[in-house]
Amino acid sequence: MEWLLIIGVMISVYMAFNIAANDIGNSVGTAVGSGSLTMRKALILGAVFEFLGALYLGNNVIKTVGSGIISADVLGSAGAFIITLAAALWITITIIKKIPISGSDAIISAVFGYGLVSVGLNNMNLNILGLVLISWVLSPLIGMVMGFGIYYLLKNAFIRKVRDIGARGRLEKVFSYLQIGSSAFAALNVGAIDIAVATGVLFYAFGGSAGFDLKLIGALGIVMGILVAGGRITDTVGRRITDLIPSRGFSAQISAASVVFIFATLGMPVSPTQTLVGTVIGVGLARGTKTIKLDVIKNIATTWIITIPACIALSIFLYLLVNLLV
């Protein structure tokens, strides 16, 4: 079984690399889009705090991903490989297309697809699956409301009252520092989600025996993905959805980070991508619908809709292929 562990770790690192490259925009994309951080500094900040979040947070989410829907005893090591590889392959395709998706959607959909053909619906925990689906719907909606509310309050309580251009610039400078802090907080929470997506299934497939070592390897994969390939999605989230300045970026980022933190604490693998896009839309709505670039949102939404059936199909295909070859 040692060779299975080696292959599993390799797939896990591959998954961590891809999901981190996809999700880093959720941590620092708004800071780049508003000009609070350069791309290089943003990626370094995100890498450090996502690494810490991956190592020390997210155990509740790991439990949900790894054994919440399909029992780890039933899943087995082969199932863990198939699920992780199916999700990783799909995420790779979307990164090449430069469109952010949800790694959480991908891994849970792959779990569901594998479960359909291997154990059947009756042997899956549909209650947990239902709670996950509800969290996917609620997280961007709550994020949109929070993003709208926070920026609306800031705009009316502070920003509109500052008429002097110089004073307005100093106020935005304050928000730029606040945004850097909120980006670090966001990265901690995104790291907790990403490590669960990358290693959760493998963690429980091996009975948790790999423990901290598996999380460490996965966290290093996250860092590599951020530094090597994270700039592509960061540009999409930060610059292409709506025009941002520090006050708007802070409103979107702190809202998204708070929502992800709450759901991650509850063990729900919500999508940082969907949540942040929701908060950015909320901030855009607080300014007026004309500021939202609907063509970008349409492309992202289309990819989300495709992700779930695509990962289910990939997981089923890989299951059938493995059983045919073995």
Confidence of residue 296 (pLDDT cuts 50, 70, 90): low
Domain that holds residue 289: 2-325
pLDDT one-digit tens code per residue, 217-267? 999 999 999 999 888 777 766 665 556 678 888 888 899 999 999 999 999
Contact criterion met (CB below 8 Å) for 283 and 147 = yes
Confidence of residue 100 (pLDDT cuts 50, 70, 90): low
Residue 66 CB neighbours (<10 A): 25
pLDDT attached to residue 268: 94
Calculate the average pLDDT of the chain.
Answer: 84
Answer yes or no: is pLDDT of 209 > 60: no
Q: Which of 39-53, 101-115, 241-255 has the highest mean pLDDT?
A: 39-53
Answer yes or no: is pLDDT of 289 > 80: no
Written as six digits, the tokens of 16 are: 């961590």
pLDDT attached to residue 285: 87
pLDDT attached to residue 195: 93
Q: Which residue has the tokens 């969290």?
A: 135
**Coil, helix or strand at residue 209:** coil
Written as six digits, the tokens of 73 are: 């005893």
Tell whether the torsion through CA atoms of 83, 85, 87 and 90 is positive or negative: negative
Contact criterion met (CB below 8 Å) for 62 and 196 = yes
**Coil, helix or strand at residue 308:** helix
**Coil, helix or strand at residue 34:** coil
pLDDT: which is higher, 30 or 197: 197
DSSP class of 98: T
Distance of CA 97 to the CA centre of its chain: 17
Half-sphere exposure of 42 (CA within 13 A, CB side): 32
This prediction's pTM: 0.86
Tell whether the torsion through CA atoms of 258, 96, 32 and 249 is positive or negative: negative
What is the residue type of 131? L
- Please count the structural domains in the chain: 1
Contact criterion met (CB below 8 Å) for 57 and 191 = yes
Mean pLDDT of 112-116: 95
Written as six digits, the tokens of 195 are: 């490590």
Strand partners, 292: 242
DSSP class of 241: S
